[in-house]
Amino acid sequence: MSEPLRTVNVGLIGLGTVGGGVARLIKSHHDEYLAAYGIDLKLTRACALAWEQAEAAGIEREAFTSDWHDVVTDPAVDIVVELIGGEHPATEIFTTAFENGKHVVSANKALLGRHVETLAEKARACGVQIKCEASCGGGIPIVSTLEHDLVGNKILTIAGILNGTTNYILSRMDAEGADYADVLADAQAKGYAEADPSADVDGFDAASKTAILASIGFGTRVTTDDVYQQGIRTIGAEDIAQARELGYTIKLLGIARNTDAGVDVRVHPTLIPADHMLAKVNGAMNAVYVVGDAVGETMFYGAGAGSFPTASAVVGDILSLSEQISRGVVPLPEIEPYGHNLAFKPMDELQTKYYVRLKVADRVGALSETVDIFAKHNISISLINQVEDGKSGVSDACSVIFLTHRALEKDVQAAAAELASVDCVAEVANVLRIEDVEAWTEGVMAN
């Protein structure tokens, strides 16, 4: 490997779990990067709120600062790594770094999911790049795969388990028959879930990642606000058990489909066949399933979070930029941001099968009244299953599971609203979609 023309200097902002991992990787693998790729990588500046964080990550005292401005304005720094998350001051870090000629590497899915178009325009104008492999799927190399390895395809479907916390909770509920609240409390006690788990369990984290992946995969601008979002708080042990009996597994999925009717982007708990590849992804692991018209089905599996898996993706982006910088070549500016050139398919127009769990009054005629309401809203029932007495949690009521034939989302929601208002229904306990996984491969070229 030829010798580098110069050292590539990195400025790191944020020395938490991931930032500390990045610092350790750069230091411990410096000689390997130099030998294998001819890249002399140096962590020149590092910013954290307290020196103790920097010290724990092995940062030299002269490289440390508690003011991010010192990093983004340092003339020696080539690449700024932003790992603090959130919108502010992350937005200011990005823009000030661009104005000072710095490329930015980030894992900030919340910021990029909503504002990457504005940031990309700014980066392009300043002649620099944004890299964000670590923003989607932790250590899974999915962003570069979509940007480079699968670019010869029309991407038809991206579907994934994109949040480790929710997958951990649902996996334990499935394995132990436990309720959501109990598993969440235990996960919080063990540090697998945040004290405020809203971003995870309400689907925002997965929605941000779905937006980024759909934008890249479909070549159109998708923001987090474009993604339908529903979390897992309503999932009970009863739903998990019923799904298993019916041959399904419940997973929180980020789903993006490039259909003739428009881009279909959504995050919600869904029933998928128990023998599907995604159904077998358990614990805190992540997986992204991608269908291209030429390549067909592919799946990428790995740790979606954690210090070193995420740091692996961050350092991969750093090395990608450094390969040119170290040889005196200026990396090309950020590509022109994607426009909103594809229409969005309204969530109301989704057509699939549904699982509906009602708590119905235990009296003659109640069941037929509920069936009539489904029929009134053009919904055909394929299966009715009454759960054993004592599991409904409501006096004088029993849980009844309905599976529908294919129906429109707007009709199912209208039926659920009417069911909630009639005397014979004590509660509409859950309405879950049964994903049509066969549709994910529509459009694949025949070999």
Q: Which residues are annotated as a binding site for NADP(+)?
A: 13-20
Query: Which entry of 102, 122, 131, 209 is annotated as an active-site residue?
Result: 209
Q: Which residues are annotated as a binding site for NADPH?
A: 109
Please provide the DSSP assignment of 177-205 as one string. ---HHHHHHHHHHTTSS-SS-HHHHTSHH
Q: Is 280 a catalytic residue?
A: no
The residue with tokens 């479909």 is 218
Token pair belonging to 139: 């250590």
Residue whose C-alpha is closest to residue 406's, from 441, 374, 434, 386: 434
**Contact by Cβ (8 Å): 342, 217:** no
Name, in order, each residue with C-beta under 8 angstroms of 233's C-beta and a sequence gap of 6 or more. Answer: 180, 201, 202
- HSE at residue 322, side-chain half, CA atoms within 13 A, is 30
The values of phi and psi at residue 258, to 5°, are -100, 90
In the annotated binding site, the residues are 13-20, 109, 194
CB 119 within 8 A of CB 94: yes
Write the single-letter amino acid at 10: V
Residue pair 33/319 in contact by the 8 Å Cβ criterion: yes
Q: Which positions are annotated as active-site residues? A: 209
